[in-house]
Amino acid sequence: MVARIPSPGLAAPLPVLPAAPLERAGDPRLDAFQRTLATMLGSQVPVSVLARLGDGSFMVRVADTPVRMALPPGTQPGSQLTMTVLAASPQPAFGLGEATLHGTPLPLSANAASLAASITAASTPLPQASGQAQGADLSPAARLLGQVLQSAAGAPPLASLHPAAPLLPAGAPDAARLAQQLQQAVAKSGLFYESHLAEWAEGKRPLAELMGEPQARKAPGTPPTEPATAQLINQQLATHESGQLVWQGRFGPEQPLRWEVRREDEDGTGPERDDAAPGWHSGLRLRFALLGEVEASVSLRGTRLHIELLADAGAAGVLRAGTPRLQQALDAAGSELAALRVRERDGA
């Protein structure tokens, strides 16, 4: 049992991972891609043409990143091109001969993009010794999966994970209501529909809850290649692959919020382990009118919480002063505050 924290400002005995920044509301892979390209400006880079998409654009691989790009007519999947990096932002741009091409990272996970390219390549007829072309004999399921992933590559982000309406349109936030809204945002995102369906079949979940998920609201007969449906399937694959869920919306009308939830590493790193309980990490970043920008990183194992807050110098003092109230609220909720650290943004 960890002794009660007697005063605010105590440092956590083990590091807590910081919350991801929120400067951009789009796919974080675009930020990483642009940072990579910024170190390669003016350089020539190899570009692999992986597949031709349904809208006539191409899936290519640049700097180990799947990218969607318009290429000259006649370009064939499997081709190897050499391009010059012209710009990293606001939009990645490449030179091919006298043409300037723009590329955008595909909203596919790395494994999904590779799988889609593999299916497309396997479906492309290859010349045989007899002079005739012959393609691989793919199963209907494989062909359908390839079509779904290609459709997802051109689909917009999921509305259930990128909602337009703020969580709190007006008024002071209510902690219990906010917690319920965030819980419902994840539960009704559609990412866990199949497991919820199994729970309903076993009598563990009411039908009314299932009807609030995206799959249940679609018209009967909607094909899996429909863009929104395909993107949902792709996001399920990406969540399973990465082991994390990212929800991006707005806390209030002018307050962007990015919330990340993931399972803690199983290698024993992170906050003090309790092998009897699963570990989870949650991180978010918000901007308040009086406090400015505040990052919160929370690690939970069982009922034990490790919390780290990062804020500007003035706000950090306010947060430290409020530590006893946080301790009391967590005690009332039955959670143990094992460690708390409040840091100033300048590294103090």
Q: What is the pLDDT of residues 87-143, one digit of tens each?
A: 887 778 888 876 667 776 666 666 666 666 666 666 555 555 555 555 556 677 777
Cα–Cα distance for residue pair 255/104, rounded to 1 Å: 26
Widest CA span in the chain? 83
Q: Which amino acid, 244?
A: Q
The region of weakest confidence among 148-157, 181-190, 271-280 is: 271-280
Q: Decide which of 167 and 105 is more confident.
A: 167
pLDDT of residue 121: 62
> Could you read off the pLDDT of 317-347 as tens digits, one per residue?
899 998 888 888 888 888 888 999 999 886 5
Angle between helices 110-123 and 140-153 (to 10 degrees): 120
Task: Give the number of other CB atoms < 10 A from CB of residue 281.
Answer: 22
Q: What pLDDT does residue 48 have?
A: 85
Burial of 285 (0-12, 13-18, 19+ CB in 10 A): buried
**Cis amide linkage into residue 90, ω under 30° from 0:** yes
Lowest mean pLDDT among 72-81, 109-118, 125-134, 198-207: 125-134
Model pTM greater than 0.75?
Answer: no
More confident residue, 285 or 53: 285
- Tell me which of 39 and 134 has the higher pLDDT: 39
Bridging pattern class, strands 99-105 and 126-127 = unpaired
Closest of 101, 5, 1 to residue 326, by C-alpha? 5
Q: What confidence score (pLDDT) does residue 120 get? A: 64
154 vs 164: CA distance, rounded Å = 20
